């Protein structure tokens, strides 16, 4: 039986989506895995998305299915992606997680692998606090948290501005959103997906 990996993300302008694609690609490199990509539901009204330019940006991943909280119980590992909002996860992801109370009551996520990646507008905009505060929810659900170990040598890259930490992959978008994920950042995301999948496969054995 294949080990099931779900990549569940929210992205407003596509940066987290690009990371999510790399995370999923990394997970697919591991034999005997079944990898699925989902986005969480949007809460922002269409007219606001239109004015901000987000509606056009979101067209790139409009066909990605919307996650339902109950589906998390089917996964062996779940890798969550969220942009940062003032050092915390975005409201859309928080709303999604707040609907998992029924899973918590049943202990449905206990022992599953959980991991997180993120994005910020600035170099020190809360990447680490967003991921580590996200971990609190995963711990309440009884999940086994996995990050990005320093065997991923790209974490040590000092030749350029780059996201990525032992807590998880990340990207820096600039305040106007004009910076896309770099090759270094995408490679760290791919490593994270592969690393989580490898651990999940071992656990499901």
113: domain CATH number? 3.40.50.360
Enclosing domain of residue 54: 3-204
Select the more confidently predicted residue: 205 or 31: 31
Query: How high does pLDDT run on average in the chain?
Result: 97
- pLDDT number for residue 18: 98
Q: Give the pLDDT mean for 75-79.
A: 98
> For 150-205, how does the pLDDT look when each residue is reduced to its tens digit (9 = 90+)?
999 999 999 999 999 999 999 999 999 999 999 999 999 999 999 999 999 999 98
CA pair distance 195, 200, nearest whole angstrom: 9
- pLDDT number for residue 172: 98
Number of domains making up the chain = 1
> For 82-119, how does the pLDDT look when each residue is reduced to its tens digit (9 = 90+)?
999 999 999 999 999 999 999 999 999 999 999 999 99
> For 48-66, how does the pLDDT look when each residue is reduced to its tens digit (9 = 90+)?
999 989 999 999 999 999 9
- pLDDT number for residue 205: 85
């Amino acid at each position: 039986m294949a080990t099931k990996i779900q990549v569940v993300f929210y992205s407003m302008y596509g940066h987290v989506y690009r990371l999510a694609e790399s995370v999923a690609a990394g997970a697919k490199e591991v034999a005997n895995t079944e990898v699925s990509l989902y986005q969480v539901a949007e809460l922002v009204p269409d007219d606001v998305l239109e004015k901000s330019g987000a509606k056009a940006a979101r067209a790139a991943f409009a066909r990605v299915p919307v996650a339902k909280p109950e589906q998390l119980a089917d996964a062996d590992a779940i890798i969550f992606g969220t942009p940062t909002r003032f050092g915390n996860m975005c409201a859309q992801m928080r709303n999604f997680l707040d609907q998992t109370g029924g899973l918590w009551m049943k202990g449905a996520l206990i022992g599953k692998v959980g991991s997180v990646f993120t994005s910020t507008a600035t170099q020190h905009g809360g990447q680490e606090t967003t991921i580590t505060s996200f971990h609190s929810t995963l711990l309440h659900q009884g999940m086994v948290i996995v990050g990005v170990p320093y065997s991923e040598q790209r974490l040590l890259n000092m030749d350029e501005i780059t996201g990525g930490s032992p807590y998880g992959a990340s990207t820096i978008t600039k305040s106007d959103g004009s910076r896309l994920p770099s090759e270094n950042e995408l490679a760290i995301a791919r490593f994270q997906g592969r690393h989580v999948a490898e651990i999940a496969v071992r656990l499901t054995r």
